[in-house]
Amino acid sequence: MLISDEVNAIEDFEHLHVTISRIGVHPSGEENGWIEHDLDPAADLDGDGTPGIDLKPLVGQNALEIWSGNLTAGEYNKMFIYVDNVTGILAGAVETKVKLPGGKLQISKSFTISDSVVNFVYDITVVKAGESGKYILKPQIAQSGADQKFNEVAPKGKPEEPGKPEGKGKPEGVEAEELMFEGSIETIDGSTWTMTIDGETKTVDVSNAKIKGEPAVGLEAKVKGTVVDDTIVASEVEIVKAEDTTPPVISVSGVANNEQYTGPVTPIINVSDDTDAEPTVVATLNGNSFISGTVVDEVDEYELEIIATDASGNEAEATTRFTIVQGE
């Protein structure tokens, strides 16, 4: 099992240390069949002199092994880790709080154990909640699994071992470094913008960028991208709108608060915001990461917690409690 970190907001940090005390895997078809292994949360897994691991060097395809062992051959469909502590150090050695929605981070991702080594990459990522200065740690299911390409990072002071997946998924050549820019939008001509950045006029190509918010002349924008021939080629753009104090609106369908059900239910989470088309949403069900639209069918008491944050840092929280009981 290896830990990696999808980029998102990690560039804001000098270090992001997490300590892990336990991992678990779940065989397919087993209702209560979790196989768990304890880890020492005080162990220095990456050899940097600090307990746990630092996610900062594990961006992109970089991954660090945290556990290896034998599992019975068969199909598995879930994986979890228990994160005991998170310590974030921003640029300038400023410590910041990173919110952890429940200590147990769980993902549903099927994989098969047979007679060969399986490398499962578990991606943990940190996201920034708009302009609030708050950060949230959560699993990144799309970048996790046994089929992920990765470059294994050896603990500091430990040489690379022969037989490790050297070059598996390793990018060819050296990629251009992505930088962060911030300024005001002066003109918009299709996918070509001009912006004033640090008092200079810059051309920004947004043809392949993920744009968060609605762009307009005069608004501020944060741009992530590379510089090619004096043009900033953007991969991500966030539009900053002033004086937004309205938090997102959260609604849940499929279950009602304090209701009982005798069969499966499908909670659907809906989040809307006046100024942010894609608010950050973190949902947990009994402390486990939850994806809207997942069927819940086990007899138990449940607490669905949702935190939604827009690009301006306005935060909304909602909790729905429901119970599934044995039918007659």
176-215 confidence digits (pLDDT tens): 568 889 888 999 988 899 999 888 899 999 988 899 888 8
- Asked if residues 23 and 67 have their Cβ atoms less than 8 Å apart, the reply is yes
Q: Which of 14, 12, 20, 11 is nearest to 43 (CA)?
A: 20
pLDDT score recorded for residue 306: 96
Fold for the domain defined by 249-324: Immunoglobulin-like (2.60.40)
Structural domain spans, the chain:
2-152, 179-240, 249-324
- The angle formed by the CA atoms of residues 93, 94 and 99, to the nearest 5 degrees, is 125
Domain 179-240 has CATH 2.40.50.140: yes
Percent of the chain, pLDDT > 70?
90
Query: Cα–Cα distance between 211 and 116 in angstroms, integer?
Result: 42
Position 250 confidence tier, pLDDT thresholds 50, 70, 90: very high
pLDDT higher than 60, residue 175: no
pLDDT score recorded for residue 311: 79
Dump the DSSP string for 203-246. EEE-TT-EEES---TT-EEEEEEEEETTEEEEEEEEEE-TT--P
- Asked if residues 27 and 35 have their Cβ atoms less than 8 Å apart, the reply is yes
Q: Minimum mean pLDDT among 93-102, 203-212, 255-264: which range? A: 93-102
Tokens at 172, concatenated: 């060819």
Position 156 confidence tier, pLDDT thresholds 50, 70, 90: confident
- Asked if residues 113 and 137 have their Cβ atoms less than 8 Å apart, the reply is no
pLDDT score recorded for residue 168: 40
Q: pTM for the complete prediction?
A: 0.51
For the segment 283-292, what is each residue's pLDDT rounded down to a tens digit?
A: 999 989 999 9
Question: For the purposes of burial, counting CB atoms within 10 Å of the CB of 215, is it exposed (0-12), middle (13-18) or buried (19 or more)?
Answer: middle
pLDDT score recorded for residue 32: 64
